[in-house]
Amino acid sequence: MSSEKRLEIFCRYAENGASSRLRFFKYKPFFEKAGIQIGIHSFFDTAYLERLYAGKGKSFSSLPRGIFRRVKELADTPRHIPLWIEYELFPMLWAWCDLAALKKRPFFLNFDDPVWEKYAKLPTLKNKYDTLVKYASGVVAANDLIVERFKNINANILKIPTAIDLDRYDKAPKEKFDRFTAVWIGSPATFHYLTSFRNVLKKMAECCDFELLMIGKSSWCSLPGVPSRSVEWSEADEAELISRSHVGIMPLPDESFARGKSAYKLIQYAAAGIPSLGAPVGENCQVIEDGATGFLCRTPEEWCRNLQQLAADPALRKQMGKAARNKAVEWSLEVNAGKLIPFLMCSKESKP
């Protein structure tokens, strides 16, 4: 089969990992509809994240097992087939290891977070991503910060925000919870963004009667002074839970890693047709149209005032929710697949 009709994806996680599921697995039907054969190879298996999210820590054998599996999968892939890679082939190994394994294959890199920050204090790895980007056929970037970071190293770069399946949200029940509900959705890896915001949430609870719905782990503890409940995340339930809420929130600290995070939570809220409150950090500023689809909140007072306003004004919530849902079309899987597929399938050899 020619390279124009086949693409091999080397992602970081199995389908239970949000970044890999949303940026790779979700696009498989669109590639297949276009007549392109897709193979998906995860570095870490399903058990890796199950163990991590259960609080059991990382398995020491996961890294060597992933390296062994990946080397074998690469050896089984014809060299003319283009590869789409999440960040890197081999975590914690030097750039030359990735490039040696690639053997001048055509490859594209995908970034949805500023992962270079994790290697910043490791002298032998701090320039790894710059090196890989230099030799890549192209880069798929989730947000403007990543585009800015790499555009002078590789001019062939495409911004593709983490996309949403609008169908699932359109079909979700829209009957609202009886109590005014602010929803936050995330993984155990991002829960600290919510807990570090607890003092502001407490002030919000003092000025407005609401319940915080935390979607992620049912075992999460309530935040002191904040009426809240936590539920286990499932792909089958997330659209309904968000749609039944009244407003979505996305607090973020103004720090380097957070500035490069994708605003996928806000995209989910928009798809569900509810307004958002978000910190004016990074991609949040691109997703929220301040005063139209939600509010960017700079101070605790703004968080309180804007939540109060939305709680007291159902018509405003409906108006903002409708505007948000209309804007969500630009982040749909269909729209983004139409840009992504031709970008990746215009295969170029990696640079010498």
- The three-state secondary structure class of 41 is strand
Whether residues 111 and 170 fall in one domain: no
pLDDT 10s digits, 256-274 = 888 888 899 999 999 999 9
How far is residue 36 from each of residues 136, 250, 302, 349, measured CA to CA in Å? 21, 36, 49, 19
| Contact call for residues 12 and 19 (beta carbons, < 8 A) | yes
pLDDT, tens only, 47-68: 888 887 777 777 788 999 999 9
Q: 37, 7 in Cβ contact below 8 A? A: yes
pLDDT in tens, 121-141: 999 999 999 999 999 999 999
Taking only the tens place, the pLDDT of each residue in 12-32 is 999 999 999 999 999 999 999
* Judgement on whether residues 177 and 314 belong to the same structural domain of the protein: yes
Residue 158: pLDDT above 90? yes
Q: Where residue 117 sits, what CATH number does that domain have?
A: 3.40.50.2000
Partnered with residue 241 across adjacent β-strands are none
d(CA 14, CA 21): 7
Which residue shows structure tokens 């978000």?
A: 278
Residues 270, 327 contacting (CB under 8 angstroms): yes
Query: Domain check: are 125 and 41 in the same one?
Result: yes
**Residue 271 burial (CB count, 10 A):** 27
What does the DSSP 8-state code read for residue 61?
Answer: T
By C-alpha distance, which of 1, 49, 115, 84 is closest to 343?
84
Asked if residue 352 is part of any domain, the answer here is no
Shared domain check, 133 and 105: yes
Q: State which residues form the domain around 21.
A: 3-163+333-345
Only one residue has tokens 């949040």, namely 284
